[in-house]
Chains A and B, each alone.
Chain A
Amino acid sequence: MLTTSIMKLFLKTFLLCLIFWSLPVLGRASEIRLDAHKVAVGLREQFVVDVMVNSADPLNAIEGQLEFPEAKLTVIDIRDGGSVINFWVQKPGLISPGVISFSGITPGGFSGPSNLLFSVVFEAKENGIAALILGGIKSLRNDGQGSELVLPIRNTIIAINPGDSSTNREILVDTEPPENFNPIVESDPNLFNGNYFLVFATEDKVSGVREYRVREGTLDWFHKAESPYLLKEQSLKKDIYIKVIDKNGNERLVKLNAPNKASWLEQYGLFATLLAGLVLGLAFMKNKYKYGQNR
């Protein structure tokens, strides 16, 4: 009986210590840390973990990995809406079971407390303690030389308790489309053998960008695309449409006028001729039918 009580007390103390260690330490000048929105969850409950950076010195590039026990947790969503990172070299994503990898830059750098890199929505799937660990972190100063600033790491743990809590979902309301952006058509000998390509990037401030789609001309379909995108129409005579869709399905469509706009005749000449032929053909058939009836 006494042993059980001591064990319970020990476990409680241990858990409290872990929770305390997992909290960000105030006054720490620079660090990368994991901020869990909950310290304990039930089975099948969803919760959010933010990857945050405090830095006294301006940083402009950061990469690393977030590791978690895949037996205990499932990734529901990875959100980069509102991230301090402007361009992802490697968008946060699962590269293997239990490992999320990321790499990105912020032109001009960022500094100060609590800069959000991205958030992960997890769902608990097994009882116990789940430790979330940051590894392979490399953060570089905004000094023009890419010199490294070693950031202390602060990990976190989550207690997963028995009992179904599947009603607790992390639902994000996002009714706004992604930000407007300026796509660019460019050619460079170092890319796609000098052929024309399209570059584009934007952000969605709430849920983050899910995907881009590109259409060349009015008769084409939208194709899923990533920047840089090799253009099919190398004569640049067709308008280019870029659609960006956020994770809640909100869309923004940006049109880039064809740099070498085709003439009306080139675009619609054949179509117009065929249409005229069809109309005349129908007229002829109608007359023939009438003539036949009259006879």
Chain B
Amino acid sequence: MRYQTKLFFSFLFLLLLAPIGVRALTIEVTATIEITATVSGCGDDAIGGGEQCDGANLGGASCSSQGFSSGTLSCTSACTFDTTACTVGGGLIGGSGSRTIPNTNVVFVGKAYPESTVFLLKDAQEIATTVADQEAKFQVAISNLSSGNYMFSVYTKDIQGVKSLLYTFPVYVTSGATTKVSEIFIPPSLATDKTEVKKGDPLKIFGQTVPQAKVLVNINSEEEITVEETTDNEGNYSFDFDSLPLERGLHTAKAKAVVGEEISTFSSLVNFIVGTQNVLNTLPIDAVNKGDLNQDKKVNLVDFSIAAFWYKREPDANFLRIEAERLNGDGELNLADFSILAFYWTG
């Protein structure tokens, strides 16, 4: 047999064995990956799908490209732009006579709680986060949007992890312009130390908002009772409410904050019972419960998808338990359950 013929058959043999060899190698490699696999996505310094940035990789973006006049842009751990070190002022018109053509940007300016993380949602999906300063002021910007109507939402969590109400507002975004949304005032957080208070005993009511703000807490009774408190330098308020004037039964409380001319909307309602015993609020204060169908402490598209899957279907025993615990408990998936999910939404 000639040398070339030998060579050909050798390669043909190798070729036929190649899949087996590769499969054997694959098994080894697979095992290694399971131990040392690097999860691609946020944190790998590469800007992937749905990420604005990753680590030091800002993809060429800057404060200017985000609608601010100057400052240093950085990246959050959620791979969204952190614009806290960017500053607004001076607009987007260049000072040397040259006009900068702006992107389609939206800048949000408002008040949250001191040093709290503010979550910005675009059409109910988280798009950016930022941290409020010591005076509870925040500003965040997003860019490269299409023109049209958007529903933006913001929420925050207080120092104890109590989530604020999701504050939603429609914005029409104009192409090629910077839209500034100011005077956003996230409502105060509100919590009680008991789920049931013995009539006559004090109920501790507390929460957080802007420092040195006036907080009005409304407690529903036969006649609505309003308690006025002032927050400290960290924006906290707390007081003992005498439950004696309240009739026995279920009551609700809600709060709003006033700073100068600005008044926030009301917080979410907090339920408590005036009864014959004291029952402490034992749930972890930051527990996300209602609407959180997959129990990941978020209420988002995943929970919506799970609910949508069971819509107009006969729920199985496991999902019936979840529906009873985390939705309205009427044994079926209907619009009321979706409404609860939408109320507790975190994005």
Contact = CB atoms under 8 A, between A and B. Distances in A.
Contacts of B337: 146
Given A89-B338, A205-B149, A277 B293 contact: no
Given A105-B342, A191-B305, A255 B48 contact: yes
A234 B118 CA distance: 35
A266 B341 contact: no
A201 B153 CA distance: 17
Nearest to B153: A108
Given A184-B301, A277-B18, A201 B306 contact: no
B284 to A, nearest CB: 19
Contacts of B305: 191, 197, 199, 227-228
Nearest to B51: A182
Interface in B329-347: 335-345, 347
Contacts of B306: 188, 190-191, 228
Contacts of A89: 308, 311, 335, 338
B29 A266 contact: yes
Contacts of B46: 257
B11 A182 contact: no
A143 B254 CA distance: 12
Contacts of A260: 33-34, 37, 39
A256 B41 CA distance: 8
Contact of B338 (A61, A199, A273, A281): A61
A237 to B, nearest CB: 8
B4 A288 contact: yes
A107 B26 contact: no
A183 B50 contact: yes
B191 to A, nearest CB: 15
Interface residues of A, number: 76
B255 to A, nearest CB: 15
Most buried by B among A109, A115, A273, A288: A109
A259 B40 CA distance: 6
A144 B308 contact: no
Interface of A: 58, 60-63, 81-82, 84, 86-87, 89-90, 103, 105-110, 112, 115-116, 138, 140-146, 176-177, 179-184, 186, 188-191, 197, 199-203, 205-206, 227-228, 254-263, 265-266, 269-270, 273-274, 277, 280-281, 284, 287-288, 291
3 tightest A-B contacts by CB? A205-B148, A108-B168, A146-B336
29 contacts: A60-B339, A60-B343, A61-B336, A86-B151, A105-B304, A106-B151, A108-B121, A144-B340, A146-B335, A176-B147, A180-B144, A181-B50, A181-B125, A186-B302, A199-B302, A205-B150, A227-B305, A228-B306, A254-B49, A254-B50, A256-B49, A258-B40, A270-B18, A274-B18, A277-B14, A281-B11, A284-B4, A284-B8, A287-B4
Interface of B: 2, 4-5, 7-8, 11-12, 14-15, 18-19, 21-22, 25-26, 29-30, 33-34, 37-41, 44, 46, 48-50, 121-126, 144-151, 153, 166-168, 170, 268-269, 290, 293-294, 300-302, 304-306, 308-311, 316, 318-319, 322, 328, 335-345, 347
